[in-house]
Structure 1
Amino acid sequence: MCNVLVSVICVLLSLCLYKWYRNYKYLQQFDWLPPKPGWPIIGNSLEFKDLTDVLSTLIKLIPKKEKMILLKIAGVPNLMVADYDFTEFILSNPNILHKSADYKFYRKWLGTGLLIGGGSKWKSRRRIIAPSFNFSILENFLEVFDSNGNIFINKLKKHIDEDKINIDRFITLYTLDVICETAMGVKVNAQINENSQYVQNVQLMCKIGMIRATSIIKKSNLLYPLTPDYYRELRAIKQLHDVTDAVIEERSLTCSTDEDKEDLNEYGLKKKMAFLDLLLNTRVDGQPLSHEDIREEVDTFMFAGHDTTASAISFCVYFLSENPDVQEQAMEEQKAIFGDDINRKSTLNDLQMMKYLECVIKETLRLCPSVPLYGRQLREDVYYKGNLLPKGLDIYIFPYGMHRDTDYYPDPEKFDPTRFENLDGKRPYKFVPFSLGPRNCVGQKFAMLEMKSIVSKLLRNFEILPTIPKHTLHFVSETVLKSTNGVRIRLKTRKW
């Protein structure tokens, strides 16, 4: 028995030494990068106490000169980047398309759809989905923006002159109503029924994904089932999938047929078609997409087009409340477009004319990118300026940090929409809230139209005022950028 025990211990020690040696040789390839010393095995994981300090910690850790640093999270090397040249190199490279390993924490929910997938499947899905974001289709969603926007405004009218309105709560329900109607073709009336389980589940999944990315225990597939979050995640995913499955089944029964050809656009698609209808009508090599294929794309669109947009709108409203001169200029633009008819519906042309409001939204996304950190994984060795980046490395682009760098933006903490009025286009990769390159956000036109539509309606109905005393945002990175203490403002009925 003693000999067997000694043999087992020797084997385990040999395996540990072999793993240590492989890791040592792997890390030697990064000697050209500024390292951050860490603890054995766990690396730099203890640098991140909780989700509220991820962003501020990264800003402190990333050197001002190199603008990138190698961190070992749970012992795994991760390259954190806030450098313009490197960001352009990664995002513009047609061969670096795979998402980083941490995206696997969302795979049970989102599958390997457009957000997470890679390779030939991703390219095929991109070709299928891209036409649905053409303006000829997006224009028909304006009615959805407007009708749900009216509910949003009427809800806010009940809170006029309150000291501290958490606008984020109202906007999140608005964007959920919009995305359900445009993505799945169904009304869920989340603004009327405010206790939306769907919203709570989406927010839980965003939080759990980020926790797993920085937790030593929860990052491990072996140890994660020993934690309560594992079972909370399973319940949330089941409820999210149940909603999508039910809608797909119902919608597939009423899906337009080949004989139903009226009112088609130049892509051969019905103009008034939900995103789900597009997928139900899609054929690949003559075969329809499977139920699972459709569900993962609808779930992806529901996630990517709901919480991210809500985050951007909420922070935009906050910055308008804190910058009355900016709000006044945005309002002057609204007057020029709508005249005395403040209640008429926005047309596509109206929204395209809102150039200053677009600058306001872009400046919001500069300071508060909805996704403050996103990653790519190398599937082959790559050389950058003569230095090796080995296969398997996870690289994280850090727009939250890059957007606040004085080398790229003068006085970066100042909210100044005029930065975007006269861009020369020479350094496009310094502004990457939607990413750039081949894996840029396919829904950014949709998002911009939705944001313009609702902020325009808000401006035309209310003066947006700061709270007294001033409300300070406490940022937290839960996949999507949030404020732990809400986004609080005051409202006053606007007099024209």
Structure 2
Amino acid sequence: MNIPHQKLVSVNIPIWKLYAEPLATLQDVMLSYGDLVKINTPWPIYLINDAEISYHVLKKTNYLFDKKLFNYKMLSRIIGQGIVCNQAKSWERSRSTIKPYFTEKHLPQWQASIDAALEDTIAKWRQKETRGEQVDVSNDMAQLAFATTISYVFGVPLSGRYERLCGELEELDFSAIEGLLLPFDLVPTRMNRNIRRLHTEIKKLIKELSSESKALGRHSLAEALRQQLNEEQAAQELITLIFAGYATVSSLLTWCLYLLALNQSAAEPLFKETRSAAEGIGIHELESLKYTIAFIKETMRLYPPVWLLPRRCSVSHEHQGFKFRENMPIWILPWTLHRNPRYWDDAEQFIPERFLSDAKVPAKAYIPFSIGPRMCIGKSFGFKETLYVVAKLTSQFRFSIPQDHKVELTSMIAVKPKRDLRLSIETNKTDVSTTQRDSHIQQIL
């Protein structure tokens, strides 16, 4: 798609508004002023909502940009000085240790971790269905993603006494946005104490689970990090993996279930597909779920797991008429890029069918896990976990939104509901043969 670039526009935005409602404010700015905007706050911010320029920054010439920004300095205090916030050699060392654990050969271990967490979730939901109660999908998906992440990273199941840490991580996640948006050390003293206390708790968890894993002879990701790095460096990497791993997946799962409940007509093909495939579906057979894959990809378009990608220009240069200056702080926004009407027809509408043909997708305008060398290292596993969990849950349950239930957004590491997201559930009794399912998908294609 050959779309001409727009000129840089300079605007004044009250900092309180940007901090209080970042998603709505940034979306309004882009729709009102275009795709290249300089926000004149006490520290200027350059917003990029142009697919070609975003590609230039994140992938094509990524070596001209880095993460040496206040955003990551502050964020590292909350989610750890790990692979997300690290620079240069520290990042390369961490990545070389972590990457082998996110390859195909580790999928069976990953599936075992998911199955254990899924069993608990399904049992709890069956009880709630029997009692006619709603389910809090935001909380339950956070618990599931947290348990799965811990189990996989350490090679042992999560002890019940540490389940409360998930809730505390959720609370801390709310403060992470301060690290992304504010340039000064404005985190309140009480929050500083909470950060230190929670990091102490997580380090205690790391030590105990690592000892248990070692005693069982498990060669886990946690053990590999402890062998390659000193104790504090390994702890920082594990804090990052735990925090980022559960936050992004739980957010994506929550929005998938919400959109299933909100878009009944778009959800119907998915319920039929997963119901017919339920008996034999495993982590290696997920590619057959064509419509479910499209549904999740469209969910990631509207609710990207990573909604903000700050970068710093390290070398002054020009690209297609846009002048990058040394030390220029740049914000690339998957949240707005994915909703940009220059690239997406009916950008605000939920249309899974747009992902049933790759030819219809503007690839450079779709970056849910970022792109380039700093792309999310767990991208493939995170997507497959979401696909597997959605397939298993929807093969057994249908979802609907309770009357008068309103959903408000809050932007943290990932975009989440501001309050509990409760859905009504019932058993998925759809009776569809494989032949019928395949016929339906062919009609869509």
Judged with a 3 Å threshold, the aligned counterparts in structure 2 of structure 1 residues 163 and 411 are, in CA distance, closer, same or farther, namely farther
Deviation at 1:63, TM superposition (A): 5.0
2:171 corresponds in structure 1 to 204
- Output the CA distance in 2 between the equivalents of 1:289 and 1:243: 18
Q: How does 1:120-131 map to 2 (within 5 A)?
A: 120-131=89-100
**Map 1:10-29 → 2, pairs under 5 A:** none
Write the letter of the residue equivalent to 1:472: K
Match for residue 277 of structure 1 among 217, 223, 234? 223
Specify the alignment match of 2:393 in structure 1.
458
Residue of 102, 115, 119 corresponding to 2:88: 119
Give unpaired runs (5+ residues) of structure 2: 1-6, 432-445
Match in the other structure for 1:318: 258
Matched, 1:417 2:352: yes
Distance verdict in 2 for CA 1:63–1:409, change over 3 Å: closer
In 2, Cα distance between equivalents of 1:164 and 1:439: 39
Flag the 1:201–1:105 CA change in 2: closer, same or farther, 3 A. Answer: farther
Kindly state the Cα deviation for residue 109 of structure 1 after the two structures are TM-superposed.
Answer: 4.5
Q: Does residue 133 of structure 2 align to residue 158 of structure 1?
A: no
Indicate the percent of aligned positions where both proteins have the same amino acid: 21
Q: Does 1:240 align with 2:174?
A: no
Change (3 A) 1:467 1:96: farther
Aligned to 2:184: 220
What is residue 33 of structure 1 aligned with on the other side? 8
Instruction: Tell me, in whole angstroms, the C-alpha distance in 1 between the residues paired with 2:256 and 2:181.
Output: 29
> Which deviates the most, 90-99 or 77-86?
90-99
Deviation at 1:348, TM superposition (A): 2.8
The aligned amino acid for 1:220 is F
CA deviation string 1:111-165 (max 9, x = no partner): 4321111212212322232221111112332122112211110111121174643
Give the structure-1-normalised TM-score.
0.78
Once the 2 structures are TM-superposed, how far is the Cα of residue 477 of structure 1 from its aligned partner? 0.6
In the TM superposition, residue 481 of structure 1 has moved relative to its aligned partner by 0.7
C-alpha distance in structure 2 between counterparts of 1:408 and 1:156, whole Å: 40
- Map residues 7-406 of structure 1 onto 2, 5 A cutoff: 33-37=8-12, 44-48=14-18, 50=20, 53-63=21-31, 66-73=34-41, 75-92=42-59, 93-96=61-64, 98-99=66-67, 100-160=69-129, 162=132, 164-189=134-159, 196-215=163-182, 219-221=183-185, 224=187, 227-252=189-214, 273-280=219-226, 288-338=228-278, 341=279, 346-406=281-341
AA at the equivalent of 1:60:
D
Equivalence map 1:465-476=2 (5 Å) = 465-469=400-404, 471-476=405-410
Separation in structure 2 between the aligned mates of residue 109 and residue 49 of structure 1, nearest angstrom: 18
2:364 is equivalent to residue 429 of structure 1: yes
Q: How many residues align?
A: 421
* Residue 437 (structure 2) aligns with: none
- The Cα shift of 1:335 comes to 4.0
**Displacement of 1:209 after TM fit?**
2.4
In structure 2, give the amino acid aligned to 1:328. E
8 Å contact from structure 1 (residues 96, 378) kept in 2: yes
| SS of equivalent to 2:138 | helix
* Structure 2 SS opposite 1:438: coil
Partner of 1:262: none
Match 1:484 to one of 393, 415, 418: 418
RMSD, aligned CA: 2.4
8 Å CA contact 1:101, 1:377 repeated in 2? no
Deviates more, 1:87-96 or 1:308-317: 87-96
What's the offset of the Cα at 1:420?
A: 0.6
Equivalent position SS for 1:158: helix
SS in 1 for 2:157: coil
The structure in which a higher percent of residues are helix is 2
- Give distance in 1, aligned partners of 2:397 and 2:10: 50
- Calculate the TM-score normalised by the size of structure 2: 0.87
Structure 1 moving runs of 4+ over 6 Å: none
Tell me how far 1:252 sits from its aligned partner: 4.7
Aligned equivalents of 2:417 and 2:74: distance in 1? 22
